[in-house]
Amino acid sequence: MTHDLTGRTAVITGAGSGFGREFARAGAAAGMRLVLADIQPDALEATRAELAAAGAQVLARVVDVADGAQVDALADAAAAAFGDVHLLFNNAGVGSAGLVWENSVRDWEWTLGVNLWGVIHGIRAFVPRMLAAAEATPGFRAHVVNTASMAGLLAPPSSGVYNVSKHAVVALSETLYQDLSLVTTQVRCSVLCPYFVPTGIHRSHRNRPGALANDAPPTRSQRAAQAMMDKAVTSGKVTAEEIARLTFAAIADDRFYVLSHPQAMAAVRTRADDLLAGRNPSDPFADRPDVRAALVEALREAG
């Protein structure tokens, strides 16, 4: 995609915090028009106000990406306000934790609704419009970025629902890449697979709909896994701003896999080697035995 994004339009879900806010800031710095969506009104308004004050053209909509009709309405609003969309960041995401058999149906519905269905709805609502624009205008270029995670390339314990959602986003994105290649060179895509970055995702339960709240309190494993996630996310050394810069560079270079932590790829290689060799899955905490020991101790203390 062209390096000059001036006057082009970006749609960003989860724009009120974390990666989404930094994507919006980067887009504004590049002279883009912005369509921002988030489920949290005050966070969304803070991002909108900041970028509007800096001179960006901004449309903000409160959207639950798990609701296809709301994402369709977002696409209609973007077209009405700014015309064609050139960058789409399917970025909204939530976290969940605990032993996989302890997760409730509502845990699955909430996490998959945002992390997977949000991406599905974004692709369904925006990509056909991008393809129509590409067919009508030979010089048109567009790019879709789906936010997955290193949890989409690995399968660490006590985060099964999240792992499933992010593995699905990686598979969906790889398929989108292949499908687009059959019909056009003007619309491309990437998948972002960050590791632990201080984004606020460990506090995503603040926006969990009441209808999907659990009746029972968190289990011991869920509390232990949540505490580990809190520590890992808040202690991350790579910032969301750095991830945004990396992602925009990947878009410019037409790079599909956007990987923020090269050191984590050793575990991905081990997983692939296990598969190719027919071995049982390796311990994902092999290089951090203290982490595994702490988790085992927390779980077995439950009696």
Kindly tell me the burial class for residue 289, based on how many C-beta atoms sit within 10 Å of its own C-beta (0-12, 13-18, 19 or more): exposed
Task: State the amino acid at position 82 in one-letter form.
Answer: F
DSSP conformation class of 291: H
d(C-alpha 147, C-alpha 165), whole Å: 11
In degrees, rounded to 5, the angle at the alpha carbon of residue 283 between the alpha carbons of residues 278 and 286 is 130
β strands within the chain, DSSP E: 9-13, 33-38, 58-62, 87-90, 142-147, 187-193, 257-259
Asked whether the beta carbons of 158 and 99 are under 8 A apart, the reply is yes
Q: Is 162 a catalytic residue?
A: yes
Kindly tell me the burial class for residue 54, based on how many C-beta atoms sit within 10 Å of its own C-beta (0-12, 13-18, 19 or more): exposed
Torsion, CA 262, CA 270, CA 148, CA 162, rounded to 10: -130
Residues known to be catalytic = 162
